[in-house]
Each structure stands twice: as C-alpha cells, then as structure tokens.
Amino acid sequence: MENLISIFLNSVFVGNILLAYFLGMCSFIAVSKNIDTAMGLGFAVVFVLTITTPLNWMIYYFFLAPGALSWVGLPDLDLSFLKFIMFIAVIAAIVQAIEMVIDRFSAGLYSALGVFLPLISVNCAILGASLFMVEREYTFIESVVYGFGSGVGWMLAIVAMAALRIKLRYADIPKGLEDYGIAMIVTGLMAMAFMLFSGISF
Amino acid sequence: MKLTSTKFFRTFSQPLWGNNPVSIQSLGICSALAVTVQLKTAVVMGISMTVVVAFSSLLISLIRNRIPRNIRIIAELIIIATLVILTDEFLRAFYYDISKQLSVFVGLIITNCIVLGRTEAFALSNPPHLAFIDGIGNGAGYSAALIMVAFIRELLGSGKFFGLKILPGIFYTAGYEDMGFMLLAPSAFIIIGLMVWLQKTWVKNDTK
C-alpha cells in the first residue's frame, strides 16, 4: 500500500510526466489559453491514461514480453519490439471506442470531452506513460496507479498553466517573447517549483 | 534561376530557420528536451528523427493516392511506427549505451507532432521528391534546435563538449563552478524560451 501511495505521489509531483519528462508539450502549449478547455482536456487525459496504461500492461505481459507466449507453447518468442506499434494501435482504438461510448450514453460528458478525444491519441504523454510502465517494470496494480497519477499530474500542470496565462495577458512582455516564448519560460519556472517536492519523502 | 529561389531548395531551407519546427511552429518539443543534457544523445536523436520524418514522408507521398481519406491517420501511424521500430532496433544493435540513455524517447518519435504534422500537411499533397526533401529539412531543423540546446546545457552544466572536458582546469581553480541547474529539466524550458525570443526578433527583422 505504501508503495502505491509513493508511486502515485511521485507521478503527480516529483516525476510529473509533463514537467520532468516533457511529455505532452504540444497540446500543453496549444490548449492552455483557457481554464475551461484546459480542465476538459485534463480530465480526458486522466480518463484515457487510467484505461490505456493497464490495458497496455496486459497486452505487453500476456503477448509481447520475452517468454510471454509460453501459454500457447512458444516460450522462446520475444515480441517486445512490437510494443510501439501495438501500444499506439491500442491507444488509438481505445480513444475511438471511448468517444463512441460517451457519445451514446452521456451527452453532457460528450460535449465536454468530445472535441478533445481525437487530440489525445497523438498526445505523447499517453504513449510515454505506457512505455515508462514497461521500462520501470510495474506490476498490474502499480500500472493502474501510475496511469492515474500521471494523468492527474498532467492535468494539474495544464490547469495551473492556463491560470498563469490568463494573468499574463495583463503583463507587458517584450515583442517576440509573447505567447510561445513566455509560455516556455513560465513552464520552466513551474518545473523548478515542482522539483522542490523531491525533498519530501514518504 | 538562382539555386536559393527554386521550390526544391526552399522546401529544404525554410524549416531550417524561418519556419523551424521547434522554435517557430512549436511542434515536437515533447521528446526534444529530455535528450538534450548531452550533445551525444541530442545528435543521435536528431539523426533518428530526420531518418523517420524523411522516409515516412517519402513513403506516404508515394502511396498518397491510394490511401482512403478516412483511415489515413491509421495508415500514417503504421508507417511511422514501423520506421521507428527499425530505428530503435538499429540503435539497440549498434549503439546500445546511447539507446539506453534515450530510453523511451526513441519510441516517442511516433507521437511526435512533427512527423504526423509533416505527413498530414505536406506529404499527402506533394510529390515524393519534394516530400522527402521537406522531411529532411524538418528533421534537420529539429536537430539544429536540439543540438543548440544540448550544446548550451552540456557546456554550462558540466563544462564538456561531446563528453570531453573543454573548460581548462584553471577556470575551476579560479573559482568557476559548473551550473548544476543546467542538467535539470527546467533549464531546457528556459533555454528554449530564450531561443524563441532571439529567433523571433531576428526573423522579423529579416522580413522587413
């Protein structure tokens, strides 16, 4: 249990997938101009990450990992090189499926998340979390917690950024640094602040 | 006609400076920054990226009239993912140490906005030779930005250039210290931000 809490807190704060590993920057810069949309995209990312990370865990350990196919009598087979293509296919399929399910059952949720879902299949954070999950050899439960934690961390970062950018509208920024340039510098400062969490031990 | 004004040349040179994918279009920063602590990894990452963009643009441009419109994203992703797998296997076979350092970031080329962006925006509507050149240009522009950041970070962060100590020892005896901050994640954001500033000011003056 303690282990799970530490994975969760680590993925939200210290090892924040956006601020420490730079994943999901493209949509982070593009969508952080408004708090509401940032919130919507953040929720969509949490949702998709919590589903795809454990799903990819199952696919990896039941089909792709070295020796994983011993249950069909092929103990020497190592298909781990296929993980990139499998993961991205799973993510694209799941995003599409989630979109259809939400559309069918919850009109309110669909109007809130619908537009963001297609954006998500090419969000680096989603694929990145799956690849980190393999690299760090998490167990199934850990991968659920890690997926959820990364999503929450990403959402926290983008919502904070959107709030900062609204304040920045009234700031007098040098020409050329406006918009994208200042967004990067603010992100840098925010990443610095998040690094302070690494002093906390659980 | 001057060489610099042919379409061929412009396709190549535009993404290098005036329309650089990282600093002007703000694409592909995702994987760019994590590999820039050292020059070596940045160079390898840049080359891998260039290979993937160039060949995926070429291949997609070759079959662009055969891809049905509504499944084009899947078709593009499959071609890109295949190329990334080949690159990853190659690195693992010949440059194992570097591939360990790059860890998941080679795989993340798949979701790099530059690759999908170029195939969507350029390769689908242009002939193969232009698409290939466009891919190389964008890859080179990406590499240039990466190498610039990595150069600054490695020099200030550990006083090295490609892993060789180039700052003379006298600096250190005189009280100079390496800037540990440059090795941490936030510095990359700030360096990119400053680079964008510099370049935007510069490019604007060019066009006037």
Residue range A120-143: average pLDDT?
85
Q: State both tokens at B76.
A: 């593009």
Of B29, B77, B84, the CB nearest to A26: B29
Return the residue matching tokens 């005189």.
Answer: B174
B84/A84 CB distance under 8 A: yes
Note the pLDDT of residue B166.
74
CA-to-CA separations, A96 to A91, A103, A117, A154, B109, in angstroms, rounded: 8, 11, 8, 21, 22
Note the pLDDT of residue A45.
86
Residue range B31-56: average pLDDT?
85
| B32 interfacial to chain A (CB closer than 8 Å) | yes
Percent of chain A at pLDDT > 90 equals 9
Q: Is the pLDDT of residue B1 over 60?
A: no
Label residue A148 by pLDDT band (50, 70, 90): very high
Percent of chain A at pLDDT > 70 equals 94
- Least confident range from A149-153, A170-174, B70-74, B115-119: namely B70-74
Instruction: Give the span between the Cα atoms of A90 and A23, in whole angstroms.
Output: 19
- B59-82, pLDDT tens digit by residue? 988 888 888 877 777 788 888 889
Residue range A26-47: average pLDDT?
81
- B89-126, pLDDT tens digit by residue? 898 888 888 888 887 788 888 877 788 878 888 888 88
Q: Is the pLDDT of residue A190 over 50?
A: yes
Instruction: Give the span between the Cα atoms of A51 and A195, in whole angstroms.
Output: 28
Residue A33, H or E segment: none
Domain ranges of chain B: 24-206
What's the 3-state SS for A98-124?
HHHHHHHHCHHHHHHHHHHHHHHCCCH
Instruction: Give the span between the Cα atoms of B191 and B182, in whole angstroms.
Output: 9
User: Which residues of chain A are within 8 Å of residue B189 when distances are taken between CB atoms?
Assistant: 184-185, 187-188, 191
Of A127, A174, A191, the CB nearest to B189: A191
Mean pLDDT of chain B: 80
Q: State both tokens at B23.
A: 């600093």
Residue range A5-12: average pLDDT?
84
Note the pLDDT of residue A132.
87
